[in-house]
Amino acid sequence: MTSTAPHLPSQVQSQSSARDHDLLGQASEILLSPGGLGIDDLDAGLAHALGPGIDYADLYFQRSWHEGWVLEDGEVKEASYNIDGGVGVRSMAGEKTGFAYSNQISGEALAETGRTASGIVRTGKQLGVAPRLVVTSDSRYGGIDPLSGLSAEDKIAMLKLADRVARAADPSVSQVSASLSGVHEVVLVRASDGTLAADIRPLVRFNVSVIAVRNGRRERGSAGGGGRFAMARLRDENVAETYAREAVRQALVNLEAVDAPAGQLPVVLGPGWPGILLHEAVGHGLEGDFNRKGSSAFAGRMGQRVAAPGVTVVDDATLADRRGSMSIDDEGTPGQYTPLIEDGILTGYMQDKLNARLMGMAPTGNARRESFAHLPMPRMTNTCMLAGQDDPADILKSVKRGLYAVSFGGGQVDITSGKFVFSASEAYLIEDGRITAPVKGATLIGNGPEAMGRVSMIGHDMELDTGIGVCGKEGQGVPVGVGQPTLKLDELTIGGTQS
């Protein structure tokens, strides 16, 4: 992983690259031209949102094309195509935010939504729109349309391959469903502080889910992944076969699963996707808005120990082609590598412009929104724990009796009390340092700062997830990534049925 220093638009005007201008040109052509607008017209549009008393305003233009193909019963019976787009206009005065949006991108729509949003306050100083500064950012993924490059026949062939591989893998497989989806998203941001930035964001995903039946028992297994790249890469990397085999393997393991234990035990988490622990136990609690408002269990703890020595957690938007990566965030700030916890000490929050300004900090490129029709908030990108020194085999050997969890469903956190849960979908008992019986899915519960203090061993096998995460906050969903090495928590509560 690489680290990049935060860029402010004022520092980088002269350095904006040909790539940034090229992206702006493409985005302008796609977003603005159809409504008879150009980049030069945005100053006038922004002026409507910058009414008396408004100290910051921004325009967020977006258009997205979503395609989804679904296989069931060996046949691709369903596919869908969705077109979405419009402009969101935000006017801010201190802690107040006015927001309106329109499906139409036109001069008239900008005037109407701008006047509506700026109505949040009606008196005060009238500011001008700052001259535009093209934001410089490094490209974290190709600015491409991921949907093109594969024919409909290619897409259907991939899904049918997954079906054949899964059914051939084991006679107990009774149902196979597979899906292929992709989004081509184009955004452009113009803000009163001068920010002008654009991005083209591809996002694709392939998923396989199977039902296996044996001796009257029925279990599910699923696997999937993707990222910010072309659909063709999913075919080239033969993910259909990989995920089909993985889904069947998981279903077969679950067919053998015994009841999970109930109570407090040592827990070893596998590498990669179990990093959902970090997302729930610390990630949300370190988002700027909750800390500004004092509602997070981590509020006021900057510089204090919030995790065991050796624990370093970062939010990294800069990872190449990852699901949670962003070249720029939804306010036009370049995506960054943001240390959150370093060797157990709390060192950083994730910020958008509003919360950074109110807390006297710098934005960290974490402003994200589900779409133009939603307000941006500080959100995670790819949240990871860095590798430690321990051999994963030694970590397992150190446990007398405990749980080894390698795959998870969802999680949730109450950021105020710090209580979090995450639900294992594939787990095993550890007995005398060895992995023994698979156990049924169970929810694990803990308290964020307490659980992070109980991390006693950290593997050297840091892995990223395969690209399947969706994070929900205040009703808005955004794609995210997680990653971590194998790690051991000395004690966590396991919600099984075997007490």
Residues 119-138 that bind other proteins (CB under 8 A): 119-120
- Antiparallel, parallel or unpaired: β 133-134 and 262-269: unpaired
Contact window for other proteins (CB under 8 A) among 232-240, 241-249, 386-394, 442-450: 442-450
CB within 8 Å of 54: residues ≥ 6 apart: 91, 92, 93, 118, 120, 121, 124, 127, 192
- Residue 279 CB, nearest distance to other proteins (Å)? 13
CB within 8 Å of 259: residues ≥ 6 apart: 439, 440, 496, 497, 498
Candidates 230, 375, 406, 471: give the one binding other proteins (CB under 8 A): 375
Candidates 27, 197, 231, 260: give the one binding other proteins (CB under 8 A): 260
Candidates 219, 331, 370, 490: give the one binding other proteins (CB under 8 A): 219
CA distance 208 to 242: 10
Helix (H) or strand (E) holding 34: none
Contact window for other proteins (CB under 8 A) among 239-247, 382-390, 405-413, 456-464: 405-413
Candidates 39, 130, 157, 213: give the one binding other proteins (CB under 8 A): 213
Candidates 9, 53, 86, 226: give the one binding other proteins (CB under 8 A): 86
Rounded to the nearest 10 degrees, what angle do helices 107-118 and 42-49 cross at? Answer: 20
Q: Which is nearer to other proteins, 10 or 103 (CB)?
A: 103
Instruction: Give buried/exposed letters for 418-433 (b at 16+ CB in 10 A, else e).
Output: bbbbbbbbbbbbbeee
Q: For residue 359, how many other CB atoms are within 10 A of its CB?
A: 14
Interface with other proteins in residues 173-192 (CB under 8 A): 174-175, 177
Q: Which is nearer to other proteins, 101 or 141 (CB)?
A: 101
Q: For residue 460, how many other CB atoms are within 10 A of its CB?
A: 13
Angle (CA) 446-452-458 rounded to 5° is 125
Contact window for other proteins (CB under 8 A) among 7-15, 78-86, 183-191, 387-395: 78-86
Interface with other proteins in residues 5-44 (CB under 8 A): none
Q: Is 441 in the site for other proteins (CB under 8 A)?
A: yes
Candidates 3, 11, 25, 77: give the one binding other proteins (CB under 8 A): 77
Strands (E), 168-324: 173-191, 195-214, 217-227, 262-269, 313-316
Candidates 1, 21, 96, 434: give the one binding other proteins (CB under 8 A): 96
Instruction: Output the six-digit token pair for 344.
Output: 């157990």
Binding residue count for other proteins, defined by CB under 8 A:
74
CA distance 176 to 66: 23
Q: Is 163 in the site for other proteins (CB under 8 A)?
A: no
Candidates 348, 418, 438, 453: give the one binding other proteins (CB under 8 A): 418
Interface with other proteins in residues 297-356 (CB under 8 A): 297
- Residue 435 CB, nearest distance to other proteins (Å)? 21
- Antiparallel, parallel or unpaired: β 487-495 and 455-458: antiparallel
Q: Is 262 in the site for other proteins (CB under 8 A)?
A: yes
Candidates 19, 214, 218, 301: give the one binding other proteins (CB under 8 A): 218
CA distance 313 to 346: 9
- Residue 463 CB, nearest distance to other proteins (Å)? 23
Q: For residue 58, how many other CB atoms are within 10 A of its CB?
A: 25
Half-sphere exposure of 420 toward its Cβ, with a 13 Å CA cutoff? 26
Candidates 80, 126, 389, 436: give the one binding other proteins (CB under 8 A): 80
Q: Is 168 in the site for other proteins (CB under 8 A)?
A: no
Q: Is 108 in the site for other proteins (CB under 8 A)?
A: no
Q: Is the dihedral of CA 385, 135, 27, 138 positive or negative?
A: negative
Contact window for other proteins (CB under 8 A) among 115-123, 225-233, 332-340, 361-369: 115-123
Q: Is 157 in the site for other proteins (CB under 8 A)?
A: no
CA distance 54 to 333: 21
In the block, tokens 């939603």 appear at: 374
Q: Is 410 in the site for other proteins (CB under 8 A)?
A: yes
Q: Which is nearer to other proteins, 55 or 394 (CB)?
A: 55
- Residue 8 CB, nearest distance to other proteins (Å)? 25
Candidates 40, 52, 108, 293: give the one binding other proteins (CB under 8 A): 293
Q: Which is nearer to other proteins, 80 or 238 (CB)?
A: 80
- Residue 1 CB, nearest distance to other proteins (Å)? 30
- Residue 209 CB, nearest distance to other proteins (Å)? 8
Contact window for other proteins (CB under 8 A) among 132-140, 294-302, 330-338, 428-436: 294-302
CA distance 404 to 428: 5
Q: Is 50 in the site for other proteins (CB under 8 A)?
A: no
- Residue 86 CB, nearest distance to other proteins (Å)? 7
Q: Say if residues 141 and 202 touch (Cβ distance below 8 Å).
A: yes
Interface with other proteins in residues 222-241 (CB under 8 A): none
Q: For residue 264, how many other CB atoms are within 10 A of its CB?
A: 12
In the block, tokens 């159809």 appear at: 34
CA distance 97 to 31: 25
Q: Is 242 in the site for other proteins (CB under 8 A)?
A: no
Q: Is 416 in the site for other proteins (CB under 8 A)?
A: yes
CA distance 431 to 454: 20
Angle (CA) 152-153-159 rounded to 5° is 90
